[in-house]
């Protein structure tokens, strides 16, 4: 039991690992760049970890709350993509950084959102189902939206993006579902450590990209950091406002806000590295906004979760009531 609590704590402080890895990578790139050949397998491990937490019953549960899930799905694939496009144009980001910002904005919700939702005392079941649905939806939505919104900057092959997304998202998820269904004993054995493995893997993916582009990031990091910060800050805000306009209760508003504001930055990083690497230099600058995104949404999401945890919604009315309890989840 003590070991399980320790593993959960280490997974819950995921912003620390991502932030620490990113900062160290700026000054000691070689500590992390060795991981670059393992980025795609690393994302597959993350998606497999998500897959083993799913079951056929989860898909049935979607039918029990279709309205909220549909609202989150629509918000995910409208608010974030157009924010990415508007910020890239408004700040006049250089081409590769603009493409990367739009790409990560077109990605599905991140699995870390489920942890943040739990800490925020929001609707964890809805969060899990929204992440699942937006992830499956990414197979079509991410390539199509990226082609549409980033096509003005570079040529985007939506077909190739589609097959990459299919490989790194759908296949591991199906594999995880199969393990959950046919090898439940194995799943129970690895489940306690799976979240921590996913967190450390995403930290290594992001740090390796930042390390490989440390020079370019230092040269234009201020504008890029501002762009990514604006993307996620407005994502959280507009996601919450969208849900409030639809008259969802406080818990569901928080959940939709978190799902919209937190992206699957690992997927964006892999797609950027596979499809937008400069053939002359071998550097994938488009992956840098995706890597920064992982840190930014983790930090903002954790701060929101801490604030919302103190202001706990009443389970009967759904209205916010200040809670004296500040204990860890």
For the chain, first and last CA: distance in Å? 15
Q: Residue 329's pLDDT is what?
A: 36
Q: What is the phi/psi pair of residue 40, to 5°?
A: -65, -50
The predicted model scores a pTM of 0.82
| Residue 152 burial (10 A CB sphere; 0-12, 13-18, 19+) | middle
Listed residue (149, 151, 146, 174) closest to 161, CA to CA: 146
Asked if pLDDT for residue 327 goes beyond 50, the answer is no
Domains of the chain: 35-308 (1.20.1530.20)
pLDDT tens across 230-239, in order? 999 999 999 9
Inter-CA distances, 257 with 11, 64, 118, 175, Å: 21, 20, 13, 29
| CA-wise closest residue to 130 among 43, 65, 192, 49 | 65
Task: Report whether 45 contacts 196 (CB < 8 A).
Answer: no
Question: What phi and psi values does residue 312 have, to the nearest 5 degrees?
Answer: -90, 130
- Which pLDDT belongs to residue 36? 87
Mean pLDDT calculated for residue range 107-119: 81
Q: 303: which residues sit within 8 A by CB, 6+ positions away? A: none
**Contact 85/24 with Cβ under 8 angstroms?**
no
CB atoms within 10 A of CB 291: 33
């Amino acid at each position: 039991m003590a070991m399980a609590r320790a593993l959960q704590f280490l997974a819950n402080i995921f912003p620390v690992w991502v932030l620490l890895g990113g900062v160290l990578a700026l000054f000691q790139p070689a500590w992390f760049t060795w991981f670059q050949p393992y980025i795609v397998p690393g994302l597959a491990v993350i998606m497999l970890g998500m897959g083993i937490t799913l079951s056929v019953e989860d898909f049935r549960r979607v039918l029990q709350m279709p309205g909220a899930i549909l609202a989150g799905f629509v918000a995910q694939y409208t608010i974030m993509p157009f924010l990415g496009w508007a910020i890239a144009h408004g700040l006049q980001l250089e081409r590769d950084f603009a493409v990367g910002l739009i790409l990560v904005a077109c990605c599905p919700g991140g699995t870390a959102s489920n942890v943040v939702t739990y800490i925020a005392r929001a609707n964890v079941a809805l969060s899990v189902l929204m992440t699942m649905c937006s992830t499956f939806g990414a197979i079509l939505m991410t390539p199509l939206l990226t082609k549409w919104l980033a096509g003005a900057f570079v040529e985007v092959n939506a077909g190739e993006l589609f097959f990459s997304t299919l490989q790194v998202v759908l296949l591991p998820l199906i594999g995880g579902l199969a393990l959950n269904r046919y090898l439940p004993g194995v799943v129970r054995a690895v489940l306690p450590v799976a979240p921590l493995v996913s967190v450390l893997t995403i930290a290594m993916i992001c740090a390796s990209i930042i390390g490989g582009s440390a020079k370019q990031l230092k040269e234009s990091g201020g504008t890029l950091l501002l762009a990514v910060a604006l993307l996620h800050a407005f994502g959280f805000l507009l996601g919450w406002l969208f849900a409030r306009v639809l008259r969802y209760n406080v818990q569901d508003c928080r959940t939709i806000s978190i799902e919209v504001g937190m992206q699957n930055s690992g997927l964006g990083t892999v797609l950027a590295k596979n499809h937008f690497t400069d053939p002359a230099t071998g550097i994938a600058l488009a992956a840098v906004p995706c890597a920064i995104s992982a840190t930014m949404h983790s930090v903002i999401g954790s701060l929101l979760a801490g604030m919302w945890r103190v202001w706990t919604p009443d389970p009967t009315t759904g209205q916010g009531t200040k809670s004296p309890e500040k204990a860890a989840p």
